[in-house]
Structure 1
Amino acid sequence: MKIVVAHNRYREAQPSGENTMVDSEIAQLTAAGVEVLPFIRSSDEIPSMSRAAKALLPISPIWAPRAQDDLSRLLREHRPDVLHLHNPYPLLSPWVVRTAHRHGVPVVQTVHNYRQVCSSGIYFRDGMICQDCKGRALGVPAIVHKCYRGSTAQSALMATTLAVHRGTWRSVDRFIALTSAIADHLRDYGVPADRIVVKPNSVPDPGAPALLGDGFLYMARLTPEKGLDLLLEAWRRHPVGALGTLRVAGDGELRPLVEAAAAERPDVVYLGQLDRAGVRAAVEASAVVIAASMWHDVLPTVIIEALASGRPVLGTALGGIPYLVGADAPHEPAGTGPATVASAVAGQLPPPAGPSGVPAGLVTGEAGWVVPPDPVAMAAALPVARAGAPALAAAARARYERTFHPDVVIKRHLDIYAALAAPTRP
């Protein structure tokens, strides 16, 4: 089987879980005997482009003529079975879907964000969840609020791109939704359910879990939507040392917040940006991993890393986080279930009063806990998670083995390709 993997890499200066997942996926497919034909561009190429190429950049998200020519040559020469698209912006353009179809090649796309609708891709603006462009023919609010790279002109271009390519996206032969929440997003966008497959990413198996460490690990881009400030506010509600150590890994614009917290409290340690060995060491040193996202985070890779190492997860009840920890369909006492938590998140009612000893709004899943994205709720959940980690450690590893292990995921991946690969080509 021949598969073209098409992806516009994000800048290497901005760590990208999507880049990492694409690289890992290519390696897994190759190991499974698939002939992978990478069709890769990188945003790091832009500064070194010729003046003529840079002149075409404004239209690249819509069309990208050079990429279409290069892709056509690749398709004619190799006659692949499927084109698998990840991120098309800005140098590939969704037009690659049309180019592939013109050559009789079916298209699979893995949906990593909400950019069918949202110009920034994350449904988050000015410190809160925003879906103002949802249901609009043209995302005028994105232009008004400069949602794409803080620029009115670039936001107008991206909003126009999304409007132009609405039909393009709906022509994709199969969408891979990384979680059930993304599947819901695609159905709401108008994609038929029979063209959506829920298949998460995976991470390599680190082997038998080490004994639980102590304390917590937060590992993410240090940006507002990832909830660092929420977590630090929750942490400060406890006496120094009461919860063990809070380890923070990553880099970004909010780095001064964690540096100040580490200078203020000895139970906060800033680890900086970690390599693979550093990630594993930080996970093993901890008992619980935290995903404090303030947006509908699609599939935080750190959660799968945690489960693989037998570490339960405390997360916010947004996006794919409940799915990852097995809390999207829990059996909880009345007043603490997902619908009630979702209402509290939306601000429709205060966090519900849970049963005796259970923090308000806390939902326990197979491999962790979720709470509303609120510092009070997070503060109440922290000691519960620390105390409950030993009981959920084995379940966390079992969930990884059953749902997120590479052997499981790659089989589902190949089944998706096989269902689309045509026996003949025009």
Structure 2
Amino acid sequence: MRIVVAHNRYREAQPSGENTIVDAEIEQLTAAGVEVLPFLRSSDEIPSMSKAAKALLPISPIWAPKAQQELSDLLARHRPDVLHLHNPYPLLSPWVVRTAHRHGVPVVQTVHNYRQVCSSGLYFRDGVICQDCRGRALGVPAIVHRCYRGSRAQSALMATTLAVHRPTWKSVDRFIALTSAVADHLRDYGIPDERIVVKPNAIPDPGSPAPLGEGFLFLGRLSPEKGLDLLLEAWRRHPDGALGPLRIAGDGELRPLVEAAAAERADVTFLGPLDRAGVRAALDASAVVLATSTWHDVLPTVIIEALASGRPVLGTALGGIPYLVGADGPREPVGTGPAAAHSAVAGSGAAPTPLPAGTTPGEAGWVVAPEPAALAAALPAARAGAAASASAARARYERTFHPDVVTKRLIDIYADVARQATAR
């Protein structure tokens, strides 16, 4: 099987989980015997472009003629079975879908964000969830609020790109939704069920989990949408030391907030940014991992890392978090609150233990409404249930997020799409 993987890499100065996932997926596919033809561009190329090339940049999200010619040459030369698209902006453009179809090559796209509708891709603006552009022919609110790169002109360009390429996106042969919440987003956009498949990302197996540690770990970007304000307000509702340690790792604009919390309380430790060995040590030292996003976080990789390490997760009931911890039963559409509360300890195999109202158990953790009172009430319950849930967390990783499982699933998707294209 021969697959073209198309991706516009984000700038290296802007750490991107999407870049990491694409690189890992190429390695995993190659190891499984798939011939991968990378068609990669990087936003880091922009500063070194010629003046003529830079002059065309404003239209590149819509068309990107150079990329179309280069892709057309690649497709004619190698005749791949499928083109797998990740991020097309700004140097590839969604037009690559049309170019592939012109060559008779079916297209699969992994949906890493909400940019079919939202110019920023986040459904998040000014510290709160925003879906003002849903259902609009043109995302005028994105232009008014400068949602793309803080620029009204660039926001107008992106909103126009999304309007122009609505038929392009609806022609994609198969969408890979990373979670059930992304699948809901695609259905809301008008994509039929038969062209959506849920397949999460994978991370390498770190091996057998270390014995459970103590306390809680927050690991991620220190930015408003990750819910640090929410977490710290909930934590302060408990006496110093009552819940064991809270370790916070990462870097970002809210670093001063975290440093102040660590200076204020003996049970809060700021670890700063960590390398891979540091992440491993922090996971081993903890009992529960926190994912307190206040936006519809698509697929926070830290949750998969936690499950691989046998650590259950306490998260907010937003975006892909319920799916990751196995708490994504019947849900309201993206943008609404969680389902009604339940009572149980996830995966314990023991008699159910009552949970606070508003806490929903999952196979490998718990989710709560993104509210300080709900999170504060759930913290002691998660601490008490961590040991009983640890083995279920690891089992969910092995069954759902292990590279062997996920890569086989991806190859099956390619084969099905290629078979249907041949039949047509």
Q: Which TM-score applies when normalising by structure 1?
A: 0.93
Aligned length: 415
The answer for the alignment partner of 1:334 in structure 2 is none
The reply to whether residue 263 of structure 1 matches residue 263 of structure 2 is yes
- TM superposition shift of 1:327: 0.8
The answer for the alignment partner of 1:212 in structure 2 is 212
Q: 1:76-115 residue pairs with structure 2 within 5 A?
A: 76-115=76-115
Is the 8 Å Cα contact of residues 108 and 172 (structure 1) preserved in structure 2? yes
Is the 8 Å Cα contact of residues 109 and 172 (structure 1) preserved in structure 2? yes
- TM superposition shift of 1:67: 0.9
- Paired with 2:332 and 2:152, the residues of 1 have a C-alpha distance of 37
Structure 1 stretch displaced more, 260-269 or 109-118: 260-269
- Paired with 1:159 and 1:339, the residues of 2 have a C-alpha distance of 27
- Paired with 2:45 and 2:220, the residues of 1 have a C-alpha distance of 25
Q: 1:106-185 residue pairs with structure 2 within 5 A?
A: 106-185=106-185
Letter in structure 2 aligned against 1:9 = R
- TM superposition shift of 1:266: 2.6
The answer for the alignment partner of 1:20 in structure 2 is 20
The answer for the alignment partner of 1:53 in structure 2 is 53
- TM superposition shift of 1:273: 2.1
- Paired with 1:61 and 1:345, the residues of 2 have a C-alpha distance of 35
- Paired with 2:167 and 2:336, the residues of 1 have a C-alpha distance of 33
- Paired with 1:274 and 1:129, the residues of 2 have a C-alpha distance of 29
What secondary structure is seen at the aligned counterpart in 2 of 1:52? helix
- TM superposition shift of 1:425: 12
Is the 8 Å Cα contact of residues 288 and 389 (structure 1) preserved in structure 2? yes
Q: CA RMSD of the aligned region, Å?
A: 2.2
- TM superposition shift of 1:41: 1.0
Is the 8 Å Cα contact of residues 342 and 372 (structure 1) preserved in structure 2? no
The reply to whether residue 189 of structure 1 matches residue 189 of structure 2 is yes
Distance verdict in 2 for CA 1:345–1:404, change over 3 Å:
closer
Q: What do residues 169-228 of structure 1 show as CA deviations (whole Å, max 9, x unaligned)?
A: 000000001111111111111111101111111111111111001111111211111111
Match of 2:397 among 379, 400, 404: 400
What secondary structure is seen at the aligned counterpart in 2 of 1:421? helix
Q: What do residues 51-98 of structure 1 show as CA deviations (whole Å, max 9, x unaligned)?
A: 111111111111111111111111111111111000111111101101
Is the 8 Å Cα contact of residues 181 and 334 (structure 2) preserved in structure 1? no
Is the 8 Å Cα contact of residues 317 and 337 (structure 2) preserved in structure 1? no
Distance verdict in 2 for CA 1:68–1:339, change over 3 Å:
closer
Q: What do residues 237-270 of structure 1 show as CA deviations (whole Å, max 9, x unaligned)?
A: 1222221221112222112111221222232222
- Paired with 2:69 and 2:369, the residues of 1 have a C-alpha distance of 48
Is the 8 Å Cα contact of residues 342 and 360 (structure 2) preserved in structure 1? no
The answer for the alignment partner of 2:42 in structure 1 is 42
Match of 1:409 among 398, 403, 406: 406
Distance verdict in 2 for CA 1:77–1:4, change over 3 Å:
same
What secondary structure is seen at the aligned counterpart in 2 of 1:33? coil
What secondary structure is seen at the aligned counterpart in 2 of 1:311? coil
The answer for the alignment partner of 1:361 in structure 2 is 358
Q: What do residues 97-143 of structure 1 show as CA deviations (whole Å, max 9, x unaligned)?
A: 01111111110000011000000101011111111100000000110
Letter in structure 1 aligned against 2:359 = L
5+ residue gaps, structure 1: 331-337
The answer for the alignment partner of 1:376 in structure 2 is 373
Structure 1 stretch displaced more, 129-138 or 252-261: 252-261
Structure 1 stretch displaced more, 369-378 or 43-52: 43-52
Structure 1 stretch displaced more, 316-325 or 71-80: 71-80
Letter in structure 1 aligned against 2:284 = E
The answer for the alignment partner of 1:419 in structure 2 is 416
Letter in structure 2 aligned against 1:17 = G
Is the 8 Å Cα contact of residues 129 and 335 (structure 2) preserved in structure 1? no
The answer for the alignment partner of 2:70 in structure 1 is 70
Q: Which TM-score applies when normalising by structure 2?
A: 0.93
- TM superposition shift of 1:23: 0.9
Is the 8 Å Cα contact of residues 317 and 342 (structure 1) preserved in structure 2? no
- Paired with 2:343 and 2:33, the residues of 1 have a C-alpha distance of 51
The answer for the alignment partner of 1:298 in structure 2 is 298
Is the 8 Å Cα contact of residues 101 and 107 (structure 1) preserved in structure 2? yes
5+ residue gaps, structure 2: 345-352
- Paired with 1:163 and 1:230, the residues of 2 have a C-alpha distance of 35
Provide the identity percentage: 81
Structure 1 stretch displaced more, 240-249 or 196-205: 240-249
The reply to whether residue 385 of structure 1 matches residue 394 of structure 2 is no
Distance verdict in 2 for CA 1:301–1:268, change over 3 Å:
same
- Paired with 2:67 and 2:186, the residues of 1 have a C-alpha distance of 26
- Paired with 1:183 and 1:83, the residues of 2 have a C-alpha distance of 20
Q: What do residues 129-178 of structure 1 show as CA deviations (whole Å, max 9, x unaligned)?
A: 11110000000011011111111001100000000000000000000011
Letter in structure 1 aligned against 2:24 = S
- Paired with 1:352 and 1:392, the residues of 2 have a C-alpha distance of 18
- TM superposition shift of 1:275: 2.1
The reply to whether residue 30 of structure 1 matches residue 27 of structure 2 is no
Is the 8 Å Cα contact of residues 340 and 352 (structure 1) preserved in structure 2? no
- Paired with 1:312 and 1:300, the residues of 2 have a C-alpha distance of 14
- Paired with 1:19 and 1:239, the residues of 2 have a C-alpha distance of 41
- Paired with 1:150 and 1:60, the residues of 2 have a C-alpha distance of 19
- Paired with 2:168 and 2:251, the residues of 1 have a C-alpha distance of 36
- Paired with 1:168 and 1:340, the residues of 2 have a C-alpha distance of 24
Distance verdict in 2 for CA 1:339–1:7, change over 3 Å:
closer
Letter in structure 2 aligned against 1:318 = L
Is the 8 Å Cα contact of residues 345 and 373 (structure 1) preserved in structure 2? no
What secondary structure is seen at the aligned counterpart in 2 of 1:197? strand
- TM superposition shift of 1:354: 7.9
Is the 8 Å Cα contact of residues 176 and 199 (structure 1) preserved in structure 2? yes
